[in-house]
């Protein structure tokens, strides 16, 4: 009955506020950290970079996924401070990698529309000494909706530093095609929902094919995210997709495992059966 739902809604709202308060202290309490998921050039079979993914080790609740706390941080505005921390940390850590590969950083809409964002990116690059060519910023279509022209002006200035811009979760937002016409994205990340279905349903297969061909003709790199099976990887290779990322290739790893991942994947991805046969 109604009062049951009201009570549980109340509970959910209280929970949210409690998390919001805890999140305000997460940086100073050293509870945030980054993990890194590699992406591969499919044809060359080499790691070309790693995407930084944020994790929150809550003292009581344990590990909280970004899908839960990023929306809360966006609502309270703490995403600005958190986003700045992520960018700085990712650049700092990438400077010490064993190879000068790309580091991809997710940026939320709130950051993009913050008046200081361009300056902040510039500052972080200068202070960490990371070459701008190694930084890739991932923006979702949804972030562009609020004020398209302003977002594009910001992205143009950042691109002017030599930083690359990727469109994340491509195909899940709105009017993607007009965005592509108006801004030279460097990379299109084909959303994992299309990748998952591309080997099964005709609709997704056609969409994937169209996006790869669109990327190619616009001079944008295409990457398939969420690759979980060898069939999906083979399919994306056959379709001419440039890069791949997903649990099949590697889960996100702590920064200390980056050197090992580069070595492990240096001769291309080998399914576990092949790796084991080679080792024995
Ligand atoms: P995203 O940027 O699209 O990142 C990809 C997500 O898919 C990651 O989840 C990754 O762990 C997961 N993933 C990778 N390979 C596979 C796969 O093969 N199968 C499946 N099912 N999932 C896979 P994660 O780390 O939980 O992040 C979720 C989302 O949270 C990210 O989606 C991104 O939108 C957001 N996020 C993460 N870190 C940050 C950050 O530092 N800043 C901002 N603003 N957002 C972030
Ligand atoms: Mg991303
Ligand atoms: Mg994505």
Per-residue pLDDT in tens (0 to 9) along the chain, 280 residues:
455 556 678 888 898 999 999 999 999 999 999 999 999 999 999 999 999 999 999 999 999 999 999 999 999 999 999 999 999 999 999 999 999 999 999 999 999 999 999 999 999 999 999 999 999 999 998 899 899 999 999 999 999 999 999 999 998 877 668 888 888 899 999 999 999 988 888 888 999 999 999 999 999 999 999 999 999 999 999 999 999 999 999 999 999 999 999 999 987 777 666 666 666 6
Token pair, residue 229, equals: 């099976």
Q: CB of 141 closer than 6 A to ligand 1?
A: no
Q: What is the pTM of this model?
A: 0.94
Task: Kindly report the protein residue whose alpha carbon is nearest to atom 46 of ligand 1.
Answer: 106
CA of 106 to the centre of ligand 2 (A): 5
Which of the ligands is closest to the CA of residue 37?
A: 1
* Ligand 1 atom closest to Cα of residue 140: 34
* Ligand 1 atom closest to Cα of residue 248: 18
């Amino acid at each position: 009955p109604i009062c049951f739902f009201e009570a549980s809604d109340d509970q959910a709202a209280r929970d949210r506020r409690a998390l919001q308060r805890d999140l305000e202290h997460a940086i100073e309490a050293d509870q945030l950290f980054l993990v890194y998921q590699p992406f591969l050039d499919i044809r060359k079979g080499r790691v070309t970079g790693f995407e930084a993914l944020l994790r929150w080790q809550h003292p009581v609740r344990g590990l909280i996924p970004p899908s839960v706390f990023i929306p809360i941080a966006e609502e309270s505005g703490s995403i600005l401070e958190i986003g700045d921390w992520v960018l700085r940390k990712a650049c700092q850590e990438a400077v010490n990698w064993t190879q000068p590969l790309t580091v991809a950083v997710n940026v939320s809409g709130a950051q993009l529309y913050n008046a200081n964002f361009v300056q902040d990116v510039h500052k972080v690059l200068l202070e960490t000494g990371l070459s701008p060519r190694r930084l890739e910023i991932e923006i979702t279509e949804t972030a562009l909706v609020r004020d398209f022209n302003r977002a594009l002006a910001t992205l143009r200035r950042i691109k002017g530093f030599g930083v690359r811009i990727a469109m994340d979760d491509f195909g899940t937002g709105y009017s993607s095609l007009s965005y592509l016409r108006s801004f030279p994205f460097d990379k299109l990340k084909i959303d994992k929902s299309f990748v998952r279905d591309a080997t099964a349903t005709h609709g997704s297969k056609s969409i994937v094919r169209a996006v790869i061909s669109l990327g190619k003709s616009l001079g944008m790199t295409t990457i398939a995210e969420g690759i979980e099976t060898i069939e999906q990887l083979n399919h994306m290779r056959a379709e001419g997709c440039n890069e791949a990322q997903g649990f099949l290739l590697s889960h996100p790893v702590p920064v200390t495992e980056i050197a090992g991942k580069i070595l492990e994947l240096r001769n291309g991805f080998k399914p576990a059966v092949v790796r084991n046969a080679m080792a024995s």
